[in-house]
């Protein structure tokens, strides 16, 4: 990598924006259903397809991707461990449990209310994870993600068990495997709340960076560590719950994107946070486009594509030595 | 002025500090010495409100450390902990810049940048400013952390073993910098030192701790004395006068 592009955050941000813009345009024109550019303005059906389906789907992928990448970044900050993210540490599974219970106990509840239940459950589940994570010995950093996997696995198993008992397994598949094919106008707008959370995260970027220095350094610099912890938890929970409810769980985004950006640019979040959000959006949108193309005219859900792409990215991260810029 | 009154501190069943009372006037360097486990770091943690006060009271310029808002204290006192680890990938100038956080709570102003520049200069870090902390040597990292604490611009500076990892050259440089900061800017510096001769050469006052108690307190000339040092460290060392200053031959 050239030192020039890496040293200037604005340069990297520009590259990420450009990539996202290209994918955005591509996404509007890829998929089942013809949409020739020339006929767009004259053909009412094509325009309708664009506004009702393609544009909402594209926006949903961007919002979900940016939100999940930021949620992963914040989770890593709060846990002070680079190898955790909402989908591997119980947050997403707790959100599933929340929405499952809401669906069981109150079937007629609106999507917004179910999201609220998912959010509350995610908050609870993540708090328990973090409280435990902070008690684990810091000399063994891999205990934290390991504990997260077990913890998430246990909650996930409970979700499956309840879903199976209640005959709701087909619903579960919707939440546990991310898929944008069902996104239409009017069915994804809750995700904009996630965009709001990303904005909040950017606003508190300096504080989050200080938090990575640990509790003592934070307190020494006059930060209300407990309050920041709560705020971070809230952001992670809201973003993850919305993701699960609206499109379903998408793995690896929150793990690989912040790690790659950290390798390239460091951890000063004031500069890197926008790049993390843009790259997360581009990665998820890219995987969704890939899912539409691989078995055209059939679709592969984005959660599945990301499982493969993200998995390879993660392995690459693990095996490539960190570069010391 | 830092006023410590009847402070005791315990971790579970073990008493770590016993009824400590100590007044540190404004200005000058106070060195805190004592064997491992004496309670020096614990005392500094209590003064800098990193540990919650259990018994007794501590005030800094009249501000009680347990009830004064954290934000306000961050502009009055800065601490360098003994075991600071920087796990995140930050560049030296970024880390030092976070020392300014208590003042603007966010973006650095021109004035902040000037102070960051000064701090980098003061601790000979200008050439390393763009390096990631993780790529520095132990001593370079230690200097970056001291610079960050200094950059906070507080009247009171607590440094827990800042000479860790420093070579002779930089240990001397750091002590001279601290002396200059205390003399020219009127800062109050409390520093934990294991090298009794550094304390003798640069501090205005030496406070010795052992087993959670204060056992000696005085100017270097009084404290560097074979009997007193034996009561603190548990072995006899000759003390010679060189150039009018006492030097403990602890290595003999
Ligand atoms: N978290 C803890 N739990 C139990 N005991 C502790 C804890 N932290 C410190 N102690 C004990 O408190 C005593 C004082 O520790 P402290 O770190 O203040 O000593 P110190 O004078 O700074 O020593 P050193 O020169 O080794 O840094 C020690 O006996 C230590 O074992
Ligand atoms: Mg100590």
- Structure confidence by residue, pLDDT tens digits, A70-128: 999 999 999 988 999 998 889 999 999 999 999 899 888 888 888 899 999 999 999 99
State the smallest CA–CA distance between residue A3 and chain B in angstroms.
12
Residues of A with Cβ-Cβ distance to B70 under 8 angstroms: 219, 222-224
CA–CA dist A218, A216 (Å, integer) = 5
Q: Residue A2's pLDDT band (boundaries 50, 70, 90)?
A: very low
Domain total in chain B: 1
Mean pLDDT in residue range A20-36:
81
The whole-number pLDDT of residue A152 equals 93
- In ligand 1, the atom with minimum distance to the C-alpha of B34 is 21
Q: Per the domain annotation, does B60 fall within a domain? A: no
**Does A7 sit within 8 Å of B74, measured CB to CB?**
no
pLDDT digits (tens, 9 = 90+) for B2-23: 999 999 999 989 999 999 999 9
State the smallest CA–CA distance between residue B94 and chain A in angstroms.
7
Domains and CATH numbers, chain A: 59-319 (1.10.3470.10)
Is A272 near chain B, with CB under 8 Å? no
The residue of chain B nearest to residue A205, with distances taken between CA atoms, is: B106
CA-nearest residue for atom 29, ligand 1, is B37
State the smallest CA–CA distance between residue B120 and chain A in angstroms.
18
Calculate how far, in angstroms, residue B46's C-alpha sits from the geometric centre of ligand 1: 13
The whole-number pLDDT of residue A40 equals 64
- Give the ligand with the smallest distance to the CA of B40: 1
Record the tokens describing residue B203, joined without a space.
Answer: 């501090």
Q: Which comes out higher in pLDDT, residue A62 or A175?
A: A62
Q: Per the domain annotation, does B132 fall within a domain? A: yes
Domain ranges, residue B108: 85-153
Calculate how far, in angstroms, residue B33's C-alpha sits from the geometric centre of ligand 2: 10
Interface pTM, i.e. ipTM: 0.92
- In ligand 1, the atom with minimum distance to the C-alpha of B45 is 18
Lining residues, ligand 1, CB within 6 Å? B 11, 14, 16, 34, 36-42, 82
Calculate how far, in angstroms, residue A41's C-alpha sits from the geometric centre of ligand 2: 73
Q: Per the domain annotation, does B126 fall within a domain? A: yes
Q: Is residue B208 within 8 Å of B30, Cβ to Cβ?
A: no
**Does A80 sit within 8 Å of B99, measured CB to CB?**
no
Q: Which comes out higher in pLDDT, residue B92 or A136?
A: B92
Record the tokens describing residue A252, joined without a space.
Answer: 């690896």
Burial A225-263 (b: 16+ CB within 10 A, else e): beebbebbbbbbbbbbbbbbbbbbbbbbbbbbbbbbbbb
| Helix (H) or strand (E) segment spanning residue A293 | helix A269-293
**Does A7 sit within 8 Å of B130, measured CB to CB?**
yes
**Does A222 sit within 8 Å of B102, measured CB to CB?**
yes
Q: Per the domain annotation, does B147 fall within a domain? A: yes
Query: What residues of chain A, 7 to 26, have a C-beta less than 8 Å from chain B?
Result: 7
Q: Residue A325's pLDDT band (boundaries 50, 70, 90)?
A: very low
Nearest to A213 among B73, B86, B134 (CB): B86
The yes-or-no verdict on residue A33 having pLDDT over 70 is no
CA–CA dist B38, B156 (Å, integer) = 22
Calculate how far, in angstroms, residue B20's C-alpha sits from the geometric centre of ligand 1: 16
**Does A220 sit within 8 Å of B84, measured CB to CB?**
no
Residues of B with Cβ-Cβ distance to A209 under 8 angstroms: 88, 90, 98
Q: Which comes out higher in pLDDT, residue A9 or A142?
A: A142
Q: What is the mean pLDDT of chain A?
A: 88
pLDDT digits (tens, 9 = 90+) for A168-221: 888 788 888 888 888 888 888 899 999 999 999 999 999 999 999 999 999 999
Considering chain A, what percentage of its residues have pLDDT values greater than 90?
58
The yes-or-no verdict on residue A167 having pLDDT over 60 is yes
Q: Per the domain annotation, does B217 fall within a domain? A: no
The whole-number pLDDT of residue A4 equals 38
The whole-number pLDDT of residue A217 equals 94
**Does A206 sit within 8 Å of B49, measured CB to CB?**
no
CA-nearest residue for atom 5, ligand 1, is B11
The whole-number pLDDT of residue A38 equals 59
CA-nearest residue for atom 24, ligand 1, is B36
Mean pLDDT in residue range A224-234:
93
State the smallest CA–CA distance between residue A301 and chain B in angstroms.
35
With a cut of 50, which residues of chain B have pLDDT below it? none
The residue of chain A nearest to residue B50, with distances taken between CA atoms, is: A216
Q: Per the domain annotation, does B159 fall within a domain? A: no
CA–CA dist A193, A183 (Å, integer) = 16
- Among B59, B95, B80, residue whose Cα is nearest residue B160: B80
A98: left (phi over 0), alpha (psi -120 to 50) or beta: alpha
Q: What are phi and psi of A209, to 5 degrees?
A: -60, -45
Is A227 near chain B, with CB under 8 Å? no
Q: Per the domain annotation, does B216 fall within a domain? A: no
CA-nearest residue for atom 28, ligand 1, is B37
Record the tokens describing residue B214, joined without a space.
Answer: 């204060």
Helix (H, G, I), strand (E, B) or coil at A177: coil
Is A218 near chain B, with CB under 8 Å? no
The whole-number pLDDT of residue A8 equals 57
The yes-or-no verdict on residue A3 having pLDDT over 80 is no
The whole-number pLDDT of residue A6 equals 42
Could you identify the residue written with the tokens 């827990």? B160
Supply the Cα-derived Rg of chain B in whole angstroms.
18
Sheet holding B156-160, edge to edge: B77-80, B156-160, B188-192, B28-33, B205-210, B213-218
Q: Per the domain annotation, does B145 fall within a domain? A: yes
The whole-number pLDDT of residue A239 equals 93
Q: What is the DSSP string of chain B?
A: -EEEEEEEEEETTEEEEEEEEEEE-SSEEEEEE--TTSSHHHHHHHHTTSS---EEEEEETTEETTTS-HHHHTTTEEEE-TT----S--BHHHHHHHTTHHHHSSS--HHHHHHHHHHHHHTT-GGGTTSBGGGS-HHHHHHHHHHHHHHT--SEEEEESTTTT--HHHHHHHHHHHHHHHHHH--EEEEE-S-HHHHHHH-SEEEEEETTEEEEEE-HHHH--HHHHHHHHSS---EEEETTEEEE-TT-
Considering chain A, what percentage of its residues have pLDDT values greater than 70?
92
Q: Is residue B32 within 8 Å of B40, Cβ to Cβ?
A: yes
């Amino acid at each position: 990598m050239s030192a020039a592009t890496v040293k200037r955050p604005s340069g990297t941000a520009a590259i990420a924006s450009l990539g996202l813009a290209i994918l955005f345009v591509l996404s509007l024109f890829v998929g089942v259903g013809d949409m020739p550019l020339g006929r767009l303005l004259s053909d009412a059906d094509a325009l309708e397809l664009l506004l009702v389906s393609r544009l909402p789907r594209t926006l949903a992928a961007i919002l979900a991707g940016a939100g999940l990448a930021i949620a992963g970044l914040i989770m890593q900050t709060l846990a002070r461990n680079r190898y955790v993210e909402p989908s591997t540490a119980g947050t997403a599974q707790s959100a599933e449990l929340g929405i499952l219970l809401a669906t069981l106990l109150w079937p007629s509840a609106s999507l917004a209310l179910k999201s609220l239940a998912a959010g509350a459950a995610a908050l609870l589940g993540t708090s328990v994870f973090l409280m435990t994570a902070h008690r684990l010995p810091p000399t063994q950093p891999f205990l934290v993600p390991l504990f997260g996997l077990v913890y998430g696995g246990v909650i996930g198993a409970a979700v499956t068990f309840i879903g199976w008992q209640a005959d709701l397994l087909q619903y579960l598949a919707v939440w546990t495997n991310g898929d944008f094919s069902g996104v239409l106008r009017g069915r994804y707008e809750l995700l904009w709340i996630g965009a709001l959370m990303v904005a909040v995260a950017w606003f508190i970027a300096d504080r989050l960076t200080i938090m990575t220095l640990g509790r003592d350094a934070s307190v020494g610099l006059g930060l209300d560590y407990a309050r920041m912890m709560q705020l971070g938890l809230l952001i992670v929970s809201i973003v993850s719950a919305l993701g699960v409810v609206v499109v379903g769980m998408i793995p690896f985004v929150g793990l690989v994107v912040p790690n790659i950006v950290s390798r390239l640019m460091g951890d000063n979040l004031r500069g890197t946070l926008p790049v993390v959000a843009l790259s997360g959006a581009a990665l998820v949108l890219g995987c969704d486009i890939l899912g539409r193309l691989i078995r055209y005219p059939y679709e592969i859900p984005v959660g599945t594509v990301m499982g493969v792409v993200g998995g390879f990215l993660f392995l690459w991260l693990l095996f490539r030595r960190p570069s010391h810029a | 002025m830092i006023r410590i009154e009847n402070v005791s501190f315990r971790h579970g069943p073990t008493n770590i500090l016993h009824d400590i009372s100590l007044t540190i006037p404004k200005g000058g360097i106070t060195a805190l010495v004592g064997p491992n486990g004496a309670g020096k770091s614990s005392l500094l943690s209590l003064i800098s409100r990193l540990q919650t006060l259990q018994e007794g009271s501590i005030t800094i310029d009249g501000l009680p450390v347990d009830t004064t808002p954290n934000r306000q204290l961050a502009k009055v006192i800065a601490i360098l902990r003994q075991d600071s680890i920087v796990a995140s990938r930050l560049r030296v100038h970024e880390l030092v810049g976070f020392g300014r956080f208590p003042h603007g709570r966010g973006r650095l102003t021109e004035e902040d940048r000037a102070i960051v520049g000064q701090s980098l200069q003061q601790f000979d870090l200008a050439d390393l400013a763009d390096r990631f902390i993780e790529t520095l040597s132990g001593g370079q990292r230690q200097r970056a952390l001291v610079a960050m604490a200094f950059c906070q611009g507080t009247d009171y500076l607590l440094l827990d073993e800042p000479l860790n990892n420093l070579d002779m050259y930089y240990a001397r440089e750091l002590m001279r910098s601290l002396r200059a900061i205390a003399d020219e800017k009127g800062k109050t510096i409390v520093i934990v030192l294991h090298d009794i001769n550094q304390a003798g050469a640069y501090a205005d006052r030496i406070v010795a701790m052992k087993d959670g108690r204060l056992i000696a307190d005085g100017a270097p000339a009084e404290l560097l004395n074979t009997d007193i040092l034996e009561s603190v460290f548990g072995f006899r060392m000759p003390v010679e006068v060189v150039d009018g200053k006492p030097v403990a031959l602890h290595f003999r």
